[in-house]
Amino acid sequence: MSANDIRSIIEGGKARLGVEFGSTRIKAVLIDPAGNPIAQGAHDWENQLVNNIWTYDMKDVWAGLQDCYARMAEDAENRYGAKITRLEAIGMSAMMHGYIPFDAEGNQLVPFRTWRNTITGPAAEALTKLFNFNIPQRWSIAHLYQAILNEEPHVPQIRFLTTLEGYVHWMLTGEKVLGIGEGAGMFPIDSNTNNYDAKMVADFDALIADKGFPWKLEQILPKVLMAGDDAGRLTEAGAKLLDVSGKLQSGVPLCPPEGDAGTGMVATNSVAPRTGNVSAGTSVFAMIVLERALKKVHPEIDMVTTPAGMPVAMVHCNNCTSDLNAWVKLFGEFAELMGLKADANQLFGALYRKAMEADADCGGLLAYNYFSGEHITGFEEGRPLFARTPDSRFTLANFMRTHLHAALSSLKIGLNILLDDEGVKVDQILGHGGLFKTKGVGQNIMAAAINVPVSVMETAGEGGAWGIALLASYMVDKAEGETLEDYLANRIFAGMPVEKVEPDPRDVDSFNDYIRRYSAGLPIERAAVDCIRQ
């Protein structure tokens, strides 16, 4: 497609926009009707640990969104000479779950409690037992019940509870809704009704009846919508919030807001049974679309859904590349000190490739990448940790390979339950996220970690912003009776190049050896948490 064709699409209001609030970056992707990215914008941001709570200030949410949109619009104008005044559709996505409560006037009652917090253990355990259904600590219902157990004074004032993308969508459209995939991370979903599980809702209301709160659970949760549903229109106030230049017109339809788990499934065409994807960035999670229910409840496995409502088993780990990123940044500082100029992509590429020269046992080195707690291994807090013996082979290759292994170790422990204990069958795993940007590294190590072939598409780096843009496109383009699975397979991914890597038996043995040492060394991490206070 020529630049003139793309300019006509943009100026004709036929482009679609997806925005995702990731853990370290807010990204906007503009796509054409065929799903091809045509312009992008990004804004870096970071969470803060405030009063021992991982959070983001809502002022940063809007400043970041506006900067991200402006950069995308500038990119479109620089590339094609086109100004964005109209859009065909918009979608909003964000990191999953968490807790943002509001009162009747729409005032936020407490700072945003993100997925990264591991402060809801008693609530998650009690609700898992009550429902006979695993309730992870990061889920909204766990945060709500923990606030009730803690007798927090804001709880009686709650009139609406949502997640980050649900909040942004509400401010842009006035609609209090969520896509079913993200709704499944607020409260368990009944796949027969595609709504919150009615019996569990009743059980929760009965559990807290003696508190006398002036609300019932379903009154404060967002309405659940399916992929393809119309989730409202961009209001005039919403248009001004999104585009501070005032060029963007209101009235644009928005698709149901989804979490990064759902958009990751879409971005990797992993919405059909026996497909799965792994998203590896600040956190790492694997999503496997199931053919059948699991044999039993596993506290390490979350049950959620695709954006179309199919049941999904999810292994979510709070920590992945944060510690890797910190070490790469340190090496970047050293490079600058030596008078060398290297951008982030060069640094990551060079160091990741060096890792592939490592010894099979990583030289005996050991690392734990726990910036925050990790429920898979039973840690409520984290301390990034590197350890070695005096006779370890302390080389750069071994050091980098160790940290790449550490980034995926918790995920492997969780996936072993699905693949080995439950016998779940997977035909393909697709990888996306920052870990897969360097060719021949992250993909190979992921294949070794899970001993399953891992594929990466050319769009692996586009991530969830592209995924939610595709969901916005599905909403406006779907034919009568066309499922999301068919739309993606036939219209978006048909003929798209896929690079598949089979697990190398030597790498599998190397990772298994590392996991044995990693598991045996967990008491070292426990001692660090106990002895190094924040």
CATH of the domain at 332: 3.30.420.40
The reported pTM is: 0.82
Give pLDDT, residue 481. Answer: 93
User: Does residue 390 belong to any structural domain of this protein?
Assistant: yes
Q: From CA 96, how far away is CA 264, in angstroms rounded?
A: 11
In a domain, 44, yes or no: no
CB 112 within 8 Å of CB 51 = no
What token pair was written down for 477?
């383009």
In the chain, the number of structural domains is 1
- Other C-beta atoms lying within 10 Å of the C-beta of residue 120: 28
For the chain, 534 residues long, give each residue's pLDDT as a single digit of tens: 799 999 999 999 999 999 999 988 999 999 999 999 999 999 999 999 999 899 999 999 999 999 999 999 999 999 999 999 999 999 999 998 899 999 999 999 999 999 888 899 999 999 999 999 999 999 999 999 999 999 999 999 999 999 999 999 999 999 999 999 999 999 999 988 999 999 999 999 999 999 999 999 999 999 999 999 999 999 999 999 999 999 999 999 999 999 988 998 998 899 989 999 998 888 898 999 998 888 899 988 999 999 999 999 999 899 999 999 999 999 999 999 999 988 888 999 999 999 999 999 999 999 999 998 998 999 989 999 999 999 999 999 999 999 999 999 999 999 999 999 999 988 889 988 788 888 889 999 999 998 889 998 876 555 789 999 999 999 999 999 999 999 999 999 988 888 999 999 999 999 999 999 999 999 999 999 999 987
Whether 315 maps to a domain, the answer reads: yes
- Does 136 reside within a domain? no
Rounded to whole angstroms, the Cα distance separating 22 from 198 reads 31
CB atoms closer than 10 angstroms to residue 360:
13
Identify whether 430 is part of a domain. yes
Q: Please report the beta strands in 165-233, taking only residues with DSSP state E, as ranges in sequence order.
A: 177-179, 189-190, 195-196, 223-225
Residue 353 lies in a domain: yes
Does 153 map to a domain? no
Helix 322-337 vs helix 344-355: crossing angle, to nearest 10: 110
Q: Which among 199, 379, 219, 157 has a CA at the least distance from the CA of 148? A: 157
* d(C-alpha 55, C-alpha 448), whole Å: 34
The DSSP secondary-structure symbol of 86 reads -
Range of the domain at 432: 269-459+507-534
Find the DSSP H helices in 18-135.
58-80, 121-131
Look at the chain and count its residues: 534
Q: How far apart are CA 194 and CA 497, in angstroms?
A: 34
Q: Kindly state whether residue 330 falls inside one of the protein's structural domains.
A: yes
Task: State how far the Cα of 318 lies from the Cα of 326, in Å rounded to an integer.
Answer: 16
Using an 8 Å Cβ cutoff, are 487 and 474 in contact? yes
